[in-house]
A = this chain, B = another copy of it.
Amino acid sequence: MEKKAFSELAKKIEAKEFVFTGELEPHRSIDLTEVKEWATTLKEIGKIIAANVTDNPRSDSAISSLVAAYLIQRDTGLECVYQLRVTDRNRLALVSDILGAGALGLKNILALAGDHTRVGTTPKAKPVFDLDSANLIDLIHRMVYEGKDLDGNEIHGPRPEINVGTAGGIMAEPLEMEVFKLKRKAKVGADFIQTQAVFDVNLAVRYLKAVKEVGIPTLIGIFPPRSYAQAEFFGKFVPGVIVPKEFMDDFKKMSEITDKAVRKEKIKEYNVNYFVDFIKEVRKEGAAGCHIMAVGYPDPIAPIIEGVIGK
């Protein structure tokens, strides 16, 4: 399996640096001002290597993640991980968009199945799923390393230079099934794994131990909540995410602090302490980095990163 590091992200991972990535979520809008501001904030933290640009998350349509990733990367200088779902495009459109990414200088794609159209805001839409996420990784790998699509049709001229990531299911049950899935994806060329958000460090460690045999660098997803309500939302409404009782209880207690500034500071401190310990632990277990998914809540990010790798 031929593999090269094209992106800054892949290069740092290859160099065994412990990496941090962030998350950008453009909306159903042609205006990217807000999302670029968040990208600039992440960039200024200094240690965030790249940020994911979501593609119609939860099957709620948004501006093309390809276009958004390009404009953000161009205007803020932050490297983007272009998320691409197989939910909405057949293999021709996927080839088109991967070449588009190449032409626009994007270097990372996160290959996703994507939520089914039925669960989103456009439930009447036809789910495409011409390929699945493993097939998409296969397609990208063949385009990048063989200069061909899945049918052997040739890419003319230079090949796109793209590293490809895959989503990891921390809570997959049984984990044995997840390992088989990742092995298939490793076989067709996945460069790295970014997991969904996890709060319980024991689950993260259990996952890292299980997927070690797959041999792909893994970034563990974290989501420092800004409030009790947000933490509660995760625990109650995001399928497959378990928030430990102790964590919830602590947030509950902090939510009762009446002084807003004090409450904010307390929550930040709590997040920093909690996630610094968390990340140190997963780092010990061989995680390649951390994917910080909190959008629009910068306060704890820099302190967390400093707590782990110093200034």
Interface residues of A (CB under 8 A from B): 27-32, 55-56, 59-68, 71, 87-93, 95-97, 99-100, 102-104, 117, 120-130, 149-151, 153-160
Distance in angstroms from A65 CB to nearest chain B CB is 7
Complex contact A122–B149 (CB within 8 A): yes
Most B CB within 10 A of own CB, among A27, A30, A89:
A30
Instruction: Show 11 residue pairs from A and B whose CB-CB distance is below 8 angstroms, ordered by the A residue.
Output: A28-B99, A29-B158, A30-B157, A31-B157, A56-B92, A66-B66, A66-B100, A87-B90, A89-B128, A93-B93, A122-B151
The residues of B that contact A97 with a CB separation of less than 8 Å are: 64, 67
Given A122-B149, A126-B90, A126-B130 in contact, is the A63-B28 Cβ separation under 8 Å? no
| Cα of A95 to Cα of B29 in the assembled complex, Å | 10
The residues of B that contact A155 with a CB separation of less than 8 Å are: 28-30
Complex contact B125–A92 (CB within 8 A): yes
Pick the contact of A103: B30, B89, B130, B157 (CB < 8 A): B30
Complex contact A96–B30 (CB within 8 A): no
